[in-house]
A = this chain, B = another copy of it.
Amino acid sequence: MAAGKSITIPKDTKSAGANRAGAKRAPVMSDRAPLYEQVGYFIRQRLIDNYWKPGTALPSEIELGKELGVSQGTVRKALDDMVADHLLYRRQGLGTFVSEYTDRRALYLFFNLMDEQGTRVLPENNILECGPRKASKLECDRLRLRANAKVIRLSRVRSLKGVPTILETISVSQRLFPGLGRDGNLPPHLYRHYQTEYGISIAKADERARAIAASDQQAAHLNVEPGSPLLEIERVAITLDAKPVELRVSRCETSVYQFCAERG
């Protein structure tokens, strides 16, 4: 016994064995971290590897504890943290499950669009164009691409109750998402599509907002006067292993619908 406990990593995973070596190895997880953090790291890694897939149940807490050589309470604390991060959810009597990207969850996270009364609204989508392009400077910067990289860029108008309200441009690296949107096969839930078709799970996003004046083209799409104020939201979606993989720039006509957030 004595200093530096660590979990026993089951064999059917890649990582090397010498877990007690002392000199903390490069990748993220130190031997000296609390057990529950080691457990959390292990579980996250299995999510990243798509070993446990969205919508499926994890082994029970007791089983996990036995597998990793820790008590049920320690597993529980690790799971608690990931439930708080919305990576997992629990159903009493049933088990602990890997989160999926559903409409409800997409609306719950990130910015919410709602009317004056605070009611949420679901948009209909109308795709303007979609295909491979040379990455812009902004795209290179936000997605950490090299200067001449290719992206797949998608533009669409989102309408609320028939009124065009949001003009959205979505960019992803072509290397990571080959064939995305070819044959116009564009699913309604993009994040879910990334997950099921490309094994890439979005864990969080950074957003920034500013006000801009509508260009002629934007104005035409949104049916407003050129120069009208629009709310521009730039969102970078980040994967479980902290890579930025999608840039989404939305220009929103906010005279009726607004963006809401509850903070604190």
Which residues in A have some Cβ–Cβ distance to B below 8 Å?
A: 84-86, 109-111, 114, 202-213, 227-232, 238, 252, 254-255, 258-264
Report whether A109 and B264 are in contact in the complex, using a CB–CB cutoff of 8 Å: yes
Residue of B nearest to A212 (CB): B229
For the A-B complex with A85-B264, A204-B264, A211-B230 known, give 8 more contacts whose Cβ atoms are closer than 8 Å.
A111-B263, A207-B261, A209-B259, A210-B255, A211-B254, A213-B228, A227-B227, A229-B229
> A-side binding surface: helix, strand, loop or mixed?
strand
- B residues less than 8 Å from A228 (CB atoms): 213
Residue of B nearest to A86 (CB): B264
Please pick, from B206, B227, B230, the residue contacting A262 in the complex, using a CB distance under 8 A. Answer: B206
Contact A206 B260, CB 8 Å, known A212-B211, A229-B230: yes
Alpha-carbon distance A232/B260, docked complex (angstroms):
12
CB distance from A27 to the nearest CB of B (A): 22
Report whether B213 and A259 are in contact in the complex, using a CB–CB cutoff of 8 Å: no
CB distance from A181 to the nearest CB of B (A): 24
Alpha-carbon distance A212/B230, docked complex (angstroms):
8
Alpha-carbon distance A84/B229, docked complex (angstroms):
37
Report whether A252 and B205 are in contact in the complex, using a CB–CB cutoff of 8 Å: no
- B residues less than 8 Å from A232 (CB atoms): 211
Residue of B nearest to A210 (CB): B254
Report whether B229 and A259 are in contact in the complex, using a CB–CB cutoff of 8 Å: no
Report whether B260 and A208 are in contact in the complex, using a CB–CB cutoff of 8 Å: yes
Please pick, from B204, B254, B258, B264, the residue contacting A263 in the complex, using a CB distance under 8 A. Answer: B204
Report whether A263 and B205 are in contact in the complex, using a CB–CB cutoff of 8 Å: yes
- B residues less than 8 Å from A261 (CB atoms): 111, 206-209, 261
- B residues less than 8 Å from A231 (CB atoms): 209-211, 231
Please pick, from B84, B209, B254, the residue contacting A258 in the complex, using a CB distance under 8 A. Answer: B209
- B residues less than 8 Å from A206 (CB atoms): 260-263
Contact A213 B229, CB 8 Å, known A258-B208, A263-B207: yes
Alpha-carbon distance A250/B100, docked complex (angstroms):
36
CB distance from A173 to the nearest CB of B (A): 20
Alpha-carbon distance A262/B203, docked complex (angstroms):
11
CB distance from A34 to the nearest CB of B (A): 13
Alpha-carbon distance A52/B166, docked complex (angstroms):
47
Contact A110 B264, CB 8 Å, known A227-B227, A231-B231: yes
CB distance from A73 to the nearest CB of B (A): 10
Q: Can you name 12 A-B pairs with beta carbons within 8 Å?
A: A110-B264, A111-B263, A203-B264, A204-B264, A206-B261, A209-B259, A210-B254, A211-B212, A211-B229, A211-B232, A229-B229, A231-B231
